[in-house]
Amino acid sequence: MQINISGHHIDVTEALRDYVSKKLGKLATHYDGITSIQVTLGIEKQRQKAEAVFHVRNADLAASVEEEDMYVAIDLLAQKLDRQLLKYKEKNIDRLQGASR
């Protein structure tokens, strides 16, 4: 899994890079089909913004969070993507097993 981290109006420090890698790296334990993650950290006025796009088999999962603190935004982003990833995994398993709802 490859994690690309970029900044928009912000210098991405090594501490931010490590924090993002640690938080989003944990998501790979839920689903091993993640090929790459593109993370963009930015500042718009007084709000800290974190966006991410997961590239998984046959789909892209995206989330965006705005908060006052960058680390809180990264935490909430990881939670959002975790929920999306588990839902995607569940739908994929149901589809493979032939379940119809």
Tens digit of each residue's pLDDT (9 = 90 or more) over 34-69: 889 999 999 988 899 999 998 988 889 999 999 999
**What's the pLDDT at 100?**
57
Output the pTM of the full model: 0.85
Give the CATH number, domain containing residue 67. Answer: 3.30.160.100
In DSSP notation, 71-84 reads: HHHHHHHHHHHHHH
Tally of domains in the chain: 1
- Domain limits for position 24: 2-97
Using 50, 70 and 90 to split pLDDT, how confident is the model at 99?
low
- In 1-101, which ranges are continuous DSSP H helix? 14-25, 70-97
